[in-house]
Amino acid sequence: IGAGPAGLAAAVYAARAGLKSVVIAPLEGGQLQGKGVLVENFPGVSGITGPVIVFDMRKQAAQFGTRFLEEKVVSVDVTSGTPFRVVTESQEILAHTVILATGADSRWLDVDGEYSYRGGGVSSCATCDGFLYRDKPVVVIGGGDTAMEDALVLARTSSLVTILHRRDTFRASHILAQRVLEHPNIKVRWNTSVVGFEGTNTTDGEPILSHVLARDQNTNKIEQIQVDAAF
């Protein structure tokens, strides 16, 4: 269950061992699939994007007989003995072994307004939604590799990218951090934490983000930052 690097690698090993492996996961893939920037920290890979890597891994798994079911798993019954019952959106599969390779999920802030404005300016995927905010100011919250990659993607199209980071140094790899710090379209606000999101509603009642509430951790002062999107 899962079609990222772990799931596809497991499928290759299982298929080469003579087992009948089935990879169950939605076609859109996971974090690597969504990387529109070049992937530079994956072993043996240089100068290509995430979707290309995933495509090649799927092709390799298929060559050894792996089959793919492009659906979400609804439930897994592991209490009734083997074979285990894996229920998807349209069918049920019996399996002697189930490997969970569901990867990571986005880390949300759990602050006021965050859930309300998801889809209306608050997003966890710059590659997916960044084009919606062409020539508009946006913020990126975080200081790791994902934040750096998202900022660099957004800087191609947004009018200004502001990174809000709660520490005074990045946790990201040195090379990505340097690219961000040297980019003319990206500015960084250190020691800043996000405490909420504010906005308005359209005539149809759809929420639209307009401000990020940011606290300066040195002065404890809260400021409204006008933006069209936050990632």
Catalytic residues: 125, 128-129
CA–CA dist 188, 46 (Å, integer) = 28
3-state secondary structure string across 58-126 = HHHHHHCCCEEECCCEEEEECCCCCCEEEEECCCEEEECCCCCCCCCCCCCCCCECCCCCECCCECCCH
Instruction: Provide the 3-class DSSP secondary structure of residue 225.
Output: strand
**Residue 122's CB: how many other CB atoms inside 10 A?**
23
Hey, what's the torsion of the CAs at 172, 177, 183, 187, to 10 degrees?
60
CA atoms within 13 A on the CB side of 23: 33
**Residue 161's CB: how many other CB atoms inside 10 A?**
28
CA–CA dist 226, 152 (Å, integer) = 20
Q: Do strands 160-164 and 137-141 pair parallel, antiparallel, or not at all (unpaired)?
A: parallel
